[in-house]
Amino acid sequence: MGGRRRGEALTGIDRAADAGDLFGRASARLRRAVPFDAAVWAAADPETGLVTAPMLVEGLGERERCADYWESELLEENVVPFRDLARAAVPAAGLRAATGDLPARSARFRRLLEGQGVRDELRAVFRAGDRSWGVVSLFRTGGGPFTHDEVELVAGLSTPMATRLRRLARPAEPSPLPDAPGPGLVLFDPSGAATSLNDEAREHLASLPPGPSVPTALGVRLPIWIIGTALQARAIARGRDHGGARVRIRTAAGRWLVCHASGLTGPGGSPGPVALVIEPASAADLAVIIAESYELTPRELEITQHVARGLPTAEIAARLFISPHTVRDHLKTIFQKTGASSRGELVARLFTEHHWPGARS
């Protein structure tokens, strides 16, 4: 029974045109098997686990409290945070089951969910191998809590959803590349409010896909994935996390930006502002996403990077201490996985199509 319901929930995901379409299809199908009243679906950066575009928010007043939800996730003590689920044997959990039917043990429930009438939350991480590619939270405002079978069903979606998200990270068809703005800078005060930004930041923000965002006093709305990166920098500064405050974001045109934030020190060593930089992603920034999206092994990615540098087979073999025959075997596999038929096509497909030309000075 569980296998049939899981299969029904996954019906059509292979036809999804992009991650947003994937979330919409999966949500509509899953609701039939696991009833819920609201949901948040989001892509995740496979290296840091931070949420990125796109994000689908359904119910609970739509997007008004979305920033508060992620602030609680990153800065407060909570039950089954996504970072723990990403490493758990079962990548899904229900809030009431995890707290012994005492959900108020979670700050997220006390501060946000209870006031919105939520009785239970089921959350999951979509992971393939040791990489997280997305997350989902399902909410119930009525009826009983999520059952063990429902948690197991959602957990069973983890690898298929991650595999599809990973594949959808591949580049779209080549298109003319515009000049890229230089690095954008956004400053946040210690409370998390955006206080200033440059024109380049405004240009980059305008290129991002639609999604949940928050207004600022600067006349621009900041997407949740930008807010989340700044929140992660604050969490690191407070000693709550050792991870990186860094996320790759795909623009509405299919190009990649990288966003990274750092907490600064105030007077007397007190927590200071957060500086966030958003800029065009380089090939090095995208190495993991590129390799994972084509299911390249670490060795295959290494060889591909040497090919991108223009090295011949013999020199690649010498640098990697393997035979030229082994290099050719790896290249054959790489061509099969990527659909490329030559070295030039391989470099264009895996690198040139993913990133911007040199930034404007």
Whether residues 151 and 10 share a domain: the answer is yes
Cis, bond preceding 54 (omega within 30 deg of 0): yes
Output the average pLDDT for the chain: 89
Residue 175 domain flag: no
Q: Which of 8-12, 40-44, 188-192, 250-254 has the lowest mean pLDDT?
A: 8-12
Residue 262 domain flag: yes
Residue 213 domain flag: yes
Please report the pLDDT score of residue 355 as a whole number.
47
pTM comes to 0.88
Whether residues 313 and 267 share a domain: the answer is no
If residue 183 lies in a helix (H) or strand (E), which one and from where to where?
none
- The CA distances from residue 202 to 91, 136, 137, 206, 221, in Å, are 37, 29, 30, 6, 10
- Judged on CB neighbours under 10 Å (0-12, 13-18, 19+), 143 is exposed
Token pair 């044997």 is at which residue?
89
Euclidean distance between CA atoms 11 and 28, whole angstroms: 10
Query: What confidence category does residue 175 fall into, taking pLDDT thresholds of 50, 70 and 90?
Result: low
Whether residues 207 and 233 share a domain: the answer is yes
Residue 133 domain flag: yes
| Bridging pattern class, strands 246-250 and 256-265 | antiparallel
Whether residues 117 and 219 share a domain: the answer is no
Question: Which residue type sits at 279?
Answer: E
Residue range(s) defining the domain that contains residue 238: 184-280
- Judged on CB neighbours under 10 Å (0-12, 13-18, 19+), 257 is buried
Domain count within the chain: 3
Q: What is the CATH number for 41?
A: 3.30.450.40
Residue 69 domain flag: yes
Are the beta carbons of 236 and 242 closer than 8 angstroms? Answer: yes
Whether residues 97 and 155 share a domain: the answer is yes
Q: What is the CATH number for 308?
A: 1.10.10.10
End position of a domain, from candidates 250, 280, 310: 280
Q: What are 79-93's pLDDT values in tens digits?
A: 999 999 999 999 999
Whether residues 160 and 189 share a domain: the answer is no
pLDDT at 99 over 80: yes
End position of a domain, from candidates 233, 252, 280: 280
Whether residues 270 and 319 share a domain: the answer is no
Whether residues 113 and 204 share a domain: the answer is no
Helical H segments across the chain, by residue range = 2-10, 19-33, 66-75, 82-85, 95-98, 107-108, 148-155, 158-168, 199-206, 224-237, 287-293, 298-308, 313-320, 324-338, 343-347
Please report the pLDDT score of residue 173 as a whole number.
54
Q: What are 1-54's pLDDT values in tens digits?
A: 457 777 777 888 899 999 999 999 999 999 999 999 999 999 999 999 999 999
Please report the pLDDT score of residue 308 as a whole number.
86
pLDDT at 62 over 70: no
Whether residues 162 and 25 share a domain: the answer is yes
Residue 360 domain flag: no
> Percentage of residues in the chain with pLDDT exceeding 90?
68
Euclidean distance between CA atoms 165 and 349, whole angstroms: 18
Q: At what angle do helices 298-308 and 313-320 cross, to 10 degrees?
A: 130
End position of a domain, from candidates 217, 251, 280: 280
Residue 144 domain flag: yes
Q: What are 257-269's pLDDT values in tens digits?
A: 999 999 998 888 7
Residue 6 domain flag: yes
Euclidean distance between CA atoms 21 and 17, whole angstroms: 6
